Amino acid sequence: MSMIWYGRVDTTESFPMPDTSPWDIQPGWVIMDSDRPDMDPAYVRPSRFGDWYSRSSGTWDWVVYPDPPFNVVYHEGKLKNGDTLVEINIATLPGNIAARLAALEAALLPPAP
């Protein structure tokens, strides 16, 4: 059975309906050109921090989130996932975290003699 995907414009909200019983499109929703990309069995996420957004053109657009979807904490001298306390490599975080941390440390720490 073939499915028609509907997406709420500029959001991650979407759902499929059988093509034999289409949905009356509501304002703010569009028929998508294809299935949501993550429905493919061979799907691999483009990056860890992001999601598929439906666009008004009916296409899917990968949007990278500016920060991780969990709290990052400084614990025992290391950056860790605030939920699991697993250490995080700063290079894997989005949003230019390394530069932002360096700026914060420079503002908080007195200059070296």
What is the CB neighbour count within 10 angstroms for residue 53? 18
- Please give the backbone phi and psi of residue 32, each rounded to the nearest 5 degrees, phi first: -85, 150
Residues present in the chain in total: 113
pTM of the model: 0.57
| Residue 6: burial class (beta carbons within 10 Å; 0-12, 13-18, 19+) | buried
**Tokens 């493919």 belong to residue:** 40
Tens of pLDDT along 12-52? 999 999 988 888 899 999 999 999 999 888 888 887 778 99
Domain-wise residue ranges, the chain: 3-64, 72-108
Tens of pLDDT along 55-112? 999 999 999 877 666 788 888 988 888 888 999 887 777 667 777 778 888 888 777 6
